[in-house]
């Protein structure tokens, strides 16, 4: 039995090493399970801030939202809407299934990069793929930035394809160009990144077809930008406006800690991988995203250039080079924890598998979550766990109980005032009542605009009331509802 077991292990290793199909199947299966488990654990509640405040409300009430959505790079939401409309599938199922499949596709692209860009063996490519998909930056992006994940997956595929061919023919152009257009029309930041890479890569390669690809992609992206120019302008003005909340979140300390948390452990081997990699095409987006990560030095205390998002993108690209750096160190015997290379790969991989798994599955506030140690600094930008939407999963249950109570015990047409983080929940579940939300509820209360309304408070927050009498109407573990009347 002992020899049979050993022979079986060797046979499995030979199959994985020599067969190009099984590694892709293994990686895709692991990625799908990794992304699906957090959804199952949170069921029946969704995970992802944008899922509850953007995707679900828009797909549920598409006609009401289309005017505002149409100028926000709407390609991905249009695809989701087409699926829900044609096949009459519940939006929640479509959103979740799409997120899981995109994550699985992302893992396949990483494996392809390992094989075709870095020229690694099958089991080395499996190591690199697992190393990347279990990174918190990747899981965080998949958590709610679904269109970013789609655009990034397509972008990496296009870059890996370009990086493996010596000359770009018209036939290859017909393959890459449509995918590039989908990518740049899916997400503004990734679209900017891809067009920038194409432009710089065309200058490096000096090939006519790459120049044409860069030109067409830039034109398509520019059209998308012009269509959303009003929103971009408003976001820049809003992000550039100095206020207490902005000063509290977008400062050098918080963003510096975020960078170290997401990238610090990856930097040493990331530099090694960067230096060892011969292909230049993935180095360009790494450098661009690194520059974007430190725009806060030039424009401090502003969210206008989204340095936190650039830090996440940089961490994803850095993880690719970092994984490759570990491979080169193990193969050159610079890392020799065991005399067997496979054991060395496992020793390096297991801690990252643990960190990613904990981030994906642990409840909010779990002591096992390493990133929870930095909650004070990074919670403005990222969740501490994927078991979260705009509120934690236990809070979601409490909120649903409160909304059910309001639907049955407050007068029809009542005005409910609360945090903007709850707007998606209220649109989906509140019936025949109006929900008013604000970044600053205190200012809304002091406006004296309404003579009577209900104030929804988290039990962790208390608002100072002036000119209003209040009566507690309902409370549970996480939320309280007060009936307010203005004092004449």
State how far the alpha carbon of 357 is from the alpha carbons of 36, 62, 114, in Å: 12, 34, 22
Residue whose C-alpha is closest to residue 281's, from 162, 167, 178, 189: 162
Mean pLDDT across the chain, nearest whole number? 87
Q: With cut-offs at 50, 70 and 90, classify the pLDDT of residue 1.
A: very low
- What percent of the chain is modeled with pLDDT above 70? 87
Q: Give pLDDT tens digits for 412-425.
A: 989 999 888 999 99
User: What pLDDT does residue 37 have?
Assistant: 97
User: Where do the domains of the chain lie?
Assistant: 2-378, 393-486
Q: With cut-offs at 50, 70 and 90, classify the pLDDT of residue 3.
A: very low
Q: Give pLDDT tens digits for 226-264.
A: 876 665 565 555 555 545 455 567 788 889 999 999 999
Indicate if the pLDDT at residue 265 is higher than 80.
Answer: yes
User: What pLDDT does residue 233 have?
Assistant: 60
Mean pLDDT of all residues in 14-43: 86
Q: With cut-offs at 50, 70 and 90, classify the pLDDT of residue 128.
A: very high
User: What pLDDT does residue 5 have?
Assistant: 55
Q: With cut-offs at 50, 70 and 90, classify the pLDDT of residue 304.
A: confident
- Tally helices (H) and strands (E) across the chain: 25, 5
Residue whose C-alpha is closest to residue 429's, from 442, 445, 439, 416: 416
Separation between Cα atoms, residue 328 and residue 321, nearest integer Å: 10
Indicate if the pLDDT at residue 53 is higher than 90.
Answer: yes
Match 């100028």 to its residue by tokens. 71
**C-beta atoms surrounding 282 within 10 Å:** 22
Q: What is the largest CA-CA distance in the chain?
A: 89
Mean pLDDT of all residues in 266-275: 96
> Long-range contacts made by residues 48-52, C-beta under 8 angstroms, separation at least 24?
48/99, 48/143, 48/144, 48/146, 48/389, 49/143, 49/144, 49/383, 49/388, 49/389, 49/390, 49/421, 50/144, 50/145, 50/146, 51/95, 51/144, 51/146, 51/389, 52/389, 52/390, 52/424, 52/425, 52/428
Q: With cut-offs at 50, 70 and 90, classify the pLDDT of residue 2.
A: very low
Separation between Cα atoms, residue 288 and residue 282, nearest integer Å: 10
Which two structure tokens, joined as six digits, stand for 65? 């939202």
Note the Cα 53 to chain centre separation in Å: 14
User: What pLDDT does residue 35 have?
Assistant: 97
Q: Give pLDDT tens digits for 445-467.
A: 666 677 788 998 876 556 566 67
User: What pLDDT does residue 4 have?
Assistant: 45
User: What pLDDT does residue 378 have?
Assistant: 85
Of 414 and 298, more confident: 414
26 and 16 in contact (C-beta within 8 Å)?
yes
Indicate if the pLDDT at residue 297 is higher than 70.
Answer: yes
């Amino acid at each position: 039995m002992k020899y049979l077991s050993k022979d079986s292990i060797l046979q499995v290793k030979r199959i994985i090493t020599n067969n190009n199909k099984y590694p892709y199947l293994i990686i895709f299966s692991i990625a799908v399970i990794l992304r699906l488990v957090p959804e199952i654990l949170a069921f029946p509640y969704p995970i992802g801030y944008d899922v509850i405040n953007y995707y679900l409300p828009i797909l549920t009430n598409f006609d009401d939202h289309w005017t505002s959505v149409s100028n926000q790079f709407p390609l991905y939401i249009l695809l989701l809407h087409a699926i829900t409309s044609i096949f009459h599938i519940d939006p929640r199922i479509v959103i979740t299934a799409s997120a899981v499949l995109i994550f699985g596709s992302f893992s396949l692209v990483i494996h392809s990069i390992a094989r075709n860009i870095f020229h690694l063996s099958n089991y080395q490519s499996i190591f690199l793929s697992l190393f990347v998909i279990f990174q918190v930056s990747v899981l965080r992006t998949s958590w709610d930035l679904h269109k970013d994940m789609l655009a990034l997956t397509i972008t990496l595929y296009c870059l890996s394809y370009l990086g493996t061919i010596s000359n770009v023919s018209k036939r290859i152009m017909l393959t890459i160009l449509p995918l590039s257009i989908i990518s740049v029309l899916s997400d503004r930041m990734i679209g900017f990144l891809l067009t920038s890479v194409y432009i710089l890569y065309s200058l490096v390669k000096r090939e006519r077809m790459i120049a044409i690809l860069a030109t067409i992609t830039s034109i398509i992206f520019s059209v998308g930008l012009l269509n959303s120019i009003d929103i971009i302008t408003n976001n820049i003005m809003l992000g550039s406006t100095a206020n207490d909340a902005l000063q509290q979140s977008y400062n050098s300390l918080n963003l510096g800690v975020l960078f170290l948390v997401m990238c610090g452990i990856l930097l040493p081997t990331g530099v090694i991988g960067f230096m060892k990699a011969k292909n230049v095409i993935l180095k360009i987006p790494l450098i661009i995203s690194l520059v974007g990560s430190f725009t806060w030095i030039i424009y401090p205390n502003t969210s206008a250039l989204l340095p936190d998002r650039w830090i996440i993108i940089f961490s994803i690209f850095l993880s690719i080079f970092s994984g490759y750096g570990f491979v080169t160190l193990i193969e050159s015997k610079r890392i020799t924890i065991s005399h067997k290379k496979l054991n060395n790969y496992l020793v390096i991989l297991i801690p990252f598998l643990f960190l990613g798994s904990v981030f994906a599955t642990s409840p909010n506030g779990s002591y096992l979550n390493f990133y929870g140690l930095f909650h004070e600094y990074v919670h403005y930008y990222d969740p501490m766990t994927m078991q979260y939407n705009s509120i934690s999963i236990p809070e979601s249950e409490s909120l649903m109980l409160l909304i059910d109570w309001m639907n049955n015990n407050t007068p029809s047409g009542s005005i409910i005032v609360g945090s903007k983080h709850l707007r998606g929940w209220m649109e989906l579940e509140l019936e025949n009542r109006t929900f008013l939300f604000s970044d600053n509820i205190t200012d809304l209360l002091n406006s004296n605009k309404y003579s009577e309304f209900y104030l929804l408070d988290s039990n962790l927050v208390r608002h100072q009331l002036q000119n209003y009498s209040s009566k507690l109407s309902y409370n549970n573990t996480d939320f309280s509802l007060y009936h307010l009347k203005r004092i004449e």
